Chains A and B, each alone.
Chain A
Amino acid sequence: MRRSARLPGFGLSLGVTLTWLSLIVLIPLAGLFLKSATIGVGQIYTTLSDPRVLSAFRVSFSAALVAAFINAIFGPIVAWSLVRYDFPGKRLVDGLVDIPFALPTAVAGITLTTLYADSGWLGQLLKPLGIEVAYTWKGIVAALVFIGLPFVVRTVQPVLEEIPSEVEEAAASMGANRWQTIRRVILPALYPAVLTGFTLAFARAVGEYGSVVFIAGNMPLKTEILPLVILTKLEQYQYGEATAVAAAMLVVSFAFLLLGNMMQSRLRRRKS
């Protein structure tokens, strides 16, 4: 079964990897699942049916969905500009896409809050229009759009680079205009990548804490996110309840990821 029987280090690297993986990842995660197994079904039910927890589920998942959707629309346009056009400062713009990935989430959080507060640069512009972003659900979405930006762009970009020019030439020579080529030929080829990026951005957004917690306002039943609920319960030494919420969150996120993968394979099948 081994790819190379001649190379040394199978035993050593297996030992190091398994030890490291167990110590850092597997044992801690097993602790989480063991803990949730010791909590009774009754307690899990009362924890999860608490209106405050239910509302946090709604807030976290709805804001993550909307933010990932916004990125799924703008991300491919950004990727398109970066792949297809030449313009001054292109490498700088390419680098900007990675900023949300590299910038600590707490920095993003305090900056966005200051920007969208009533006296902030963007808050001042939006206030006369009657739009309040800071300390509302919209603020959570704004923070999650920032966080999710690189995921869609970076998954669509390589796919766009690989589309052979013959495809577009064929469409053009058969009389399609540019818009038809883009809509009928290029966009369908991008859908799986957009969906992957959407799923990644969504998964990241659901668990996001640092960038959201400042701008959310954290009003129970309104703008309280799931990670904050877990943190609050931990600070009150309610380990069982914190674990129940965390485990439920992992299960729901996992279900969404599974759904994304299923849609993915359907898209692929339709393509072939």
Chain B
Amino acid sequence: MSQLRSKAQRDPWWLKALALSVTFGFLGLVVVVPIVSVFTNAFAKGIGPYWAAISHPDTISALKMTLLAAGCAVPLNAICGFAAAWLVTKFRFWGRDFLVSLIDVPFSVSPVISGLVFVLLFGAQGWFGPALQAMGIRIIFTPIAIVLVTVFVTFPFVTRELIPVMEEQGVQAEEAATMLGASGWNTVWRVTLPSIKWALLYGLILSNARAMGEFGAVSVVSGHIRGETNTLPLHAEILYNEYDFTGAFAVASILTFVAGATVVLKLLLERKVRK
């Protein structure tokens, strides 16, 4: 595209130089320096202490908790998110726009408030807390609460990515398939899914990144019990507050690596989705 740029769009050299140096300077300061410093801090004392921090039982159990939360939240939201996207793109009904904006609500709520609403429901003084306690069920300060808030904060991701793609596709292909006698499931499986697979994957990757990295909401409901309800971000916080900087940044480096992989996959998928 840029090769075809017309003469009127060509900027004088000084403007180009200025814009590019501001861009590099700003992104360098705001993004690159922090990323580099995660790794220099993690390896400040060499590879030995780094590895010790990574392979520590508390880190391993935090990793397991994080994978459990993401492993529950991402597929659940993918299935229900697909149902929601199917509903709002293939059918027109009263209250449709309102439903779409309700789905987006978790995006606009502060993470701490996301945690708070679950404490208000299931906490010791919450709406359902005493009744559940009488049955011997605890939710707050257990892995169940961590999974719940993770599902809440990642709720809109998949639906959001699917809606524009499915909206653009319309309904003709699916209608043709059903008229030719395909069952509902067959239509979804053979017609809809192949055409939205990249957008779906894109939504899965974004929601996974958020699920693994969520801090505020999880922090409210987890109780920070080491070996039990600690996720990787919470573990990094605990180590940091104990002045174990190598440990904290070693844990942070795992999460930074996940973030980097997310961004690379996102860029690759964006090419596919745009085609």
Contacts and interface: CB of A to CB of B under 8 A. Distances in A.
B113 A10 contact: no
Contacts of A28: 117-118, 120-121, 152
B215 A78 contact: no
Nearest to A142: B30
B56 interface: no
A13 interface: yes
A129 interface: no
B110 A207 contact: yes
B213 A104 contact: yes
A271 interface: no
B80 interface: yes
Interface stretch (A46-54, A163-171, A188-196, A259-267): A163-171
Q: Chain A interface secondary structure, helix, strand, loop or mixed?
A: helix
A107 B91 contact: no
A3 B171 contact: yes
A239 B9 CA distance: 58
A239 B140 CA distance: 14
Interface string B1-32: 01001111111100110011011101101111
A149 B127 CA distance: 39
Contacts of B262: 98, 102
A3 B32 CA distance: 47
A68 interface: no
A178 B19 CA distance: 14
A246 interface: yes
B233 A7 contact: no
A143 B70 CA distance: 25
Contacts of A242: 116
B57 to A, nearest CB: 21
Contacts of A210: 111, 215-216, 219, 233
B248 interface: yes
Contact of B117 (A32, A115, A209, A226): A32
A85 to B, nearest CB: 6
Contacts of A108: 34
B269 to A, nearest CB: 12
A231 B175 contact: no
Interface in A191-226: 203, 206-210, 214, 226
A28 B103 CA distance: 14
Contacts of B12: 178
A6 B127 contact: no
A13 B185 CA distance: 12
B220 A234 contact: yes
A107 B83 contact: no
Contacts of B264: 95
A255 interface: no
Interface in B215-266: 215-216, 219-220, 232-234, 236-237, 240, 245, 248-249, 252, 255-256, 258-260, 262-264, 266
A32 to B, nearest CB: 5
A16 B236 contact: no
Contacts of B65: none
B90 interface: yes
B184 A17 contact: no
A104 B9 contact: no
Contacts of A230: 110, 112-113, 116
B8 A171 contact: yes
A65 to B, nearest CB: 16
A104 B214 contact: yes
Interface string A116-138: 00001110000000000000000
A182 B256 CA distance: 38
Interface string A45-77: 000000000000000000000000000001001
A26 B178 CA distance: 34
A203 B108 contact: yes
16 contacts: A1-B93, A7-B175, A16-B84, A25-B105, A25-B155, A74-B26, A80-B19, A98-B263, A104-B259, A112-B34, A114-B37, A122-B33, A146-B31, A165-B8, A178-B12, A249-B113
Interface of A: 1-4, 6-10, 12-14, 16-17, 20-21, 24-29, 31-32, 34-35, 74, 77-78, 80-82, 84-87, 91, 93-108, 110-112, 114-115, 120-122, 145-146, 149, 165, 168-169, 171-173, 178-179, 181-182, 203, 206-210, 214, 226-228, 230-231, 234, 237, 239, 242-243, 246, 249-250, 253, 257
Given A32-B113, A99-B260, A107-B252, 7 more contacts: A7-B171, A31-B126, A85-B19, A95-B264, A104-B252, A178-B10, A210-B216
